[in-house]
Chain A
Amino acid sequence: DTGVSQNPRHKITKRGQNVTFRCDPISEHNRLYWYRQTLGQGPEFLTYFQNEAQLEKSRLLSDRFSAERPKGSFSTLEIQRTEQGDSAMYLCASSPTGDVGQPQHFGDGTRLSIL
């Protein structure tokens, strides 16, 4: 179990630029989740994959956001035309297919700062 890996750890970019984050889940985990976390808040759900299928998207996920998990392994989250309000920590988590008692395994996140 090598854990969930996220890259980059930090990203600083100018408003209006596009950014892409990568998440490598624990290898045997079918489920992958993306969250956004702002200071003083808990993680807010963005989207969920089971294998390569994107099964749920939050209404928080505007059309500037897109996520993929092309081969059911790693996933990418892209934000187009970034805005100041996109500054946050973006967390990825994975879990095995199982039951409601399975916890999530989190990566250390990508901190996005928009100048």
Chain B
Amino acid sequence: GNSVTQMEGPVTLSEEAFLTINCTYTATGYPSLFWYVQYPGEGLQLLLKATKADDKGSNKGFEATYRKETTSFHLEKGSVQVSDSAVYFCAQQVSGGSYIPTFGRGTSLIVHP
């Protein structure tokens, strides 16, 4: 079946530190991959995506590269800010009509000044 595994949190960093949140997937097809971010009391927002192998998605200083050989889509940011504190979800969608995504459990990021 399809699944997404994320590293457990919380991840606690100081401002300007380097961030990596690991994400791996298993899929029966050729998925598109997404990172979503959720701030307290809000729904999920798309952060970035990649739709084919070796594609790099990027947004607001965050990046992730679709690695088919390692079935991974790790999220990185070179210098985090306090405002990046949120929960980050990795997700995949496979073709088949409904495009229902499979989400990871989420990784909480806490950034201290």
Contacts and interface: CB of A to CB of B under 8 A. Distances in A.
Interface string A77-115: 000000000000001010100011111111111000000
Interface residues of B, number: 27
Nearest to A3: B43
B51 A100 contact: yes
A103 B46 CA distance: 7
A19 interface: no
Nearest to B104: A42
A56 interface: yes
Nearest to B55: A101
A12 to B, nearest CB: 16
B34 to A, nearest CB: 6
A67 to B, nearest CB: 14
Given A101-B32, A102-B99, A103-B49, A108 B89 contact: no
Interface in A41-57: 41-45, 48, 50, 55-56
Interface residues of A, number: 28
Contacts, number: 64
B99 A40 contact: no
Nearest to B89: A42
Contacts of A50: 98
B94 interface: yes
B106 A106 contact: no
B45 A101 contact: no
Interface in B81-113: 89, 91, 93-95, 97-101, 103-106
B94 A33 contact: no
A9 to B, nearest CB: 8
Interface string B33-51: 0101000011111100101
Interface string A8-50: 0000000000000000000000010100000011111100101
Interface of B: 4, 31-32, 34, 36, 41-46, 49, 51, 89, 91, 93-95, 97-101, 103-106
15 contacts: A40-B105, A42-B89, A48-B100, A55-B98, A56-B98, A93-B44, A100-B32, A100-B93, A100-B95, A100-B99, A101-B32, A103-B46, A103-B49, A104-B44, A109-B42
